[in-house]
Amino acid sequence: MRGSLAEVKTTVERPVAVNLLLQVSRSADNRLSGTVQMTGGSDARAFSGTLELMRVFEEFVPATTDEHTHTGTGASVQE
């Protein structure tokens, strides 16, 4: 790529602590279902099945932090 510079952005992964409240039940066919919400928060996310539970976890745990706050939920995270 002559005349072009490729910009490479890197991210530093840092562990964060997020307190979640998980209400879960198991159906007759062994499927997990329930809700997950931030402790003290009101934004509960429903899930049905392990893959959906992992998706919900990914929504609550921020990929990057800005001033130690996840902008999607307004919830504070601790580093």
Condensed to tens digits (0 to 9), the pLDDT of residues 15-48 reads: 777 889 999 999 999 999 999 998 888 889 999 9
Q: What is the dihedral of CA 45, 47, 53, 59, to 10 degrees?
A: -30
9 within domain boundaries: no
77 within domain boundaries: no
47 within domain boundaries: yes
55 within domain boundaries: yes
Q: What is the pLDDT of residues 63-78, one digit of tens each?
A: 665 544 444 444 444 4
Burial of 67 (0-12, 13-18, 19+ CB in 10 A): exposed
Query: Total structural domains in the chain?
Result: 1
User: Which structural domain, as residue segments, surrounds residue 34?
Assistant: 15-62
**pTM recorded for the entire structure:** 0.58
5 within domain boundaries: no
